[in-house]
Homo-oligomer: A and B are copies of this chain.
Amino acid sequence: MALLFRQLFDRESSTYTYLLADTETGDAALVDPVLEQHTRDLALLDELGLRLRFVLETHVHADHVTAAGLLRERTGARTVASARGAPCADQHVGHGEVLRLGAHTITALATPGHTDDSLSYAIDGMVFTGDALLVRGTGRTDFQNGDPRALYRSIHEVLLRLPDDTVVYPGHDYKGFTSSTIGEERRHNPRVAGKTEEEFVALLNGLDLPPPKRLAEAVPRNRACGVEA
Measured CB to CB, the residues of A under 8 A from B are: 6-11, 17, 37, 40, 47-48, 173, 175-179, 184, 187-188
Contact = CB atoms under 8 A, between A and B. Distances in A.
A10 B174 CA distance: 10
Contact of A48 (B17, B40, B175, B184): B184
A17 B179 CA distance: 13
A187 B47 contact: yes
- Main SS class of interface, A: mixed
Nearest to A180: B6
Nearest to A44: B177
13 contacts: A9-B9, A9-B173, A9-B177, A9-B178, A11-B11, A11-B176, A40-B175, A40-B176, A47-B184, A47-B187, A47-B188, A48-B184, A178-B178
A188 B178 CA distance: 25
Nearest to A5: B179
Contacts of A179: 6-7
